[in-house]
Structures are given as C-alpha cells and as structure tokens.
Amino acid sequence: MVVDIQCKGMAIEILQNFEQAAKKLDGAVLVVTGLAVLLFGLFTWLGGLGFRKILAAATGAAIGGVGAFFIIDKNWIPVAASAVIVCIIALVIESTLKTSSVAWRLITAICSAVLGTVLIFAAMIMLLVYKGTAPVSYIINRQSFYGGVFAAMAVFGTVEQLLLCPKAKTTTSKK
C-alpha cells in the first residue's frame, strides 16, 4: 500500500513537472505535436482492430527508433536501422498470430482502445498547456470524473471496433 501511494505521488509529480516544463516550449511544438498525437490517438482508438498491421508496423518502428536513440547512439543510421528491423519483427509476429479468434480480437480491441484513449488525453493536455491552462492540476483535482471518462472512452472504443471492424478472413482448405 505504501509503495502504491508513493508511485502514485511520483507519477503525479512527474506530470506536474511536465506541465511546468511544457509551458516554456514554443507554441508550434505543442500544437503540431499535440495534433499529431491526437490524430494517431483517434486512429488507434476507433480503428485499431481494423488496421492491426499498420499499427504493429508503426509501433514497432517507434519502439525500435526510440530505443536505439536512447540506448545505442543518437546517430540517425542505427536509429533508422533499428526502427526498420523492429518494424519487420512486429509485422512477422502480427502475421503469425491467430488473429481470427474471438479472444484475440477482444484483446486487440481493448489494447487499441486504451492506447488510443491515453494518446487522446496526452494530446489534449499538450493543446491545453499551449492555451496557458493547467490541465494536469485540473485532472488531479477531479480524478474520479476523468477516470470515468477514460473508462467510458475505452469501453466505447472497444465496442465500436468489435462491431464495425471486419473480422480477419480465414482460408480453409477443402479436402
């Protein structure tokens, strides 16, 4: 319990520090980044199940590139190579999994909806910081309300994807 409270306090402190540091950034950085994250969040939130391959490739490339940037070297050649390699690995893993099962569809829809919701919240925070407000402090003071909004968005995104995204086509061999 003590560790949980300490971690929660550290997470809140990190978010508040981000909010203070972001106020010093150029407005164009916050707006352009915020809009890009918002678009990717909406895409993931509502269409993650239908665009699994694209999301796997983008996520793999992002993880490979960021990982190489911070771990290996800040040189663009290893960063680009790592992004391409991890992108290919992610696509191979995605194509070999049984993507037609109900459990896999449900897990993919839930993960996409939650990730999309997180990205939408992050984008809105960036855009509101640009406007000069203190969105993190506002959210912290109304945690139960925003927790409910987050849960409702995740549930809606999951249900929407399960209902509207087509099932993966399976091929059966006739004997």
Q: What would the pLDDT profile of 6-39 be if each residue is shown by its tens digit?
A: 556 677 787 778 778 777 778 888 889 889 989 9
C-alpha to C-alpha distance for 146 and 5, rounded to whole angstroms = 19
- Tens of pLDDT, residue by residue over 51-104, are 777 877 887 888 888 777 778 766 778 788 888 888 888 888 777 776 667 777
Read off the pTM. Answer: 0.70
In this structure, which amino acid lies at residue 27? G
- Max Cα–Cα distance, the chain, nearest Å: 68
